[in-house]
Amino acid sequence: MQPERIEFPTDYPIKVVIRADQGLRVRVEQVFCRHFGPRAPEGLTERHSAQGHFISLTYTPRVEHEDQLRALHAELSAIEGVMMVI
């Protein structure tokens, strides 16, 4: 059985786990702005780890096509301090 294909365009949740560093968060925000433009604050949720060492950011941008997701994932994954992109 093949996984279900995503129908584009769609609002797609993307979770980014980063080290707790304000400069790193700004870099991640810049990547999202390059790919999706400015977005409303309600398009983002944030959770801090119990020890405060990591931040989980969940964005829900409007994704137009699969290549947009691939490019975003590659750019985010290349940033030092980004632990995971889901």
Q: What is the pLDDT of residues 24-67, one digit of tens each?
A: 999 999 999 999 988 755 678 999 999 999 999 999 999 999 99
pLDDT band at 4 (very low <50, low <70, confident <90, very high): confident
- Domains in the chain, number: 1
Question: What CATH number is attached to the domain comprising 79?
Answer: 3.30.70.260
Model pLDDT, residue 42: 61
Phi, psi of 20 (to 5 degrees): -70, 95
Q: How much is the pTM?
A: 0.88
Range of the domain at 29: 10-85
Domain-located, residue 75:
yes
Domain-located, residue 56:
yes
Domain-located, residue 3:
no
Residues β-bridged to residue 2: none
Domain-located, residue 61:
yes
CA distances, 59 to each of 2, 14, 48 (Å): 26, 5, 15
CB–CB of 28/76 below 8 Å?
A: yes
Model pLDDT, residue 59: 94
Question: Cα(28)–Cα(39) distance, rounded to whole angstroms?
Answer: 13
CB–CB of 78/84 below 8 Å?
A: no
